[in-house]
Copies of this chain bind each other. A is one copy, B any other.
Amino acid sequence: MSRLKDKILEVSTDLFQTRGINSTGVDTIVAVAGTTKMTLYKYFHTKEELILEVLKKSQSDFQTWLDKKLDSSSKKPADKIQLLFDYIEEWVTSPSFLGMGFIKASAEFPNEENPIHKLSSQQSREFRQYIAKLATEASIKDADSLALQLSLLFEGAVQAEQMKRGSGAIKYAKKAAKVLIDGAN
């Protein structure tokens, strides 16, 4: 992958999070990335394609990071689900955290037929299924039900953190998650 393509993706991710997707023009993106529109449109045929790739990379980065953290933490499935919100807290409270792409994108593109909304919805579902896998491996009775509840806490906490940086909401999500996990057996 090209150095400039990466730079465009990185700058777009940042600007979409801090200014909003529709409010960020490609002229701004190339100016900040230090390149030109011709180069941007060489790598991304349309702005929509750029948005979709930004979302894919963001979610992939998060999932990869989380998976690695959980994998190197413990081999016992029961521990892993308990540690889930500890790592989520670490991710969300990191200074570089600016929000979750799929949550903001789904709000900005509310039509369920829109490709950007569809991808956002898919990423939300995939993360829920990831939690469900953790719950299943931890031999939790109704794993899918717990996973959905935990995903609500996660998305709610991210929403709260996007609303007010440093809200501390994730601390309460963690407390609530522990109660729900412990009560699910």
Contact = CB atoms under 8 A, between A and B. Distances in A.
Interface stretch (A39-47, A74-82, A107-115): A107-115
B17 A110 contact: yes
State the number of copies, please.
Answer: 2
A13 interface: no
A179 B108 CA distance: 33
A184 to B, nearest CB: 9
Interface string A10-48: 000000011110110000000000000000000000000
A145 B164 contact: no
A57 B183 CA distance: 39
Interface in A101-132: 103-104, 106-112, 117, 120-121, 124
B148 A152 contact: no
A109 B99 CA distance: 12
Given A104-B110, A163-B121, A176 B180 contact: yes
A152 B159 CA distance: 8
The 4 closest A-B pairs by CB, nearest first: A156-B156, A152-B156, A107-B107, A22-B22
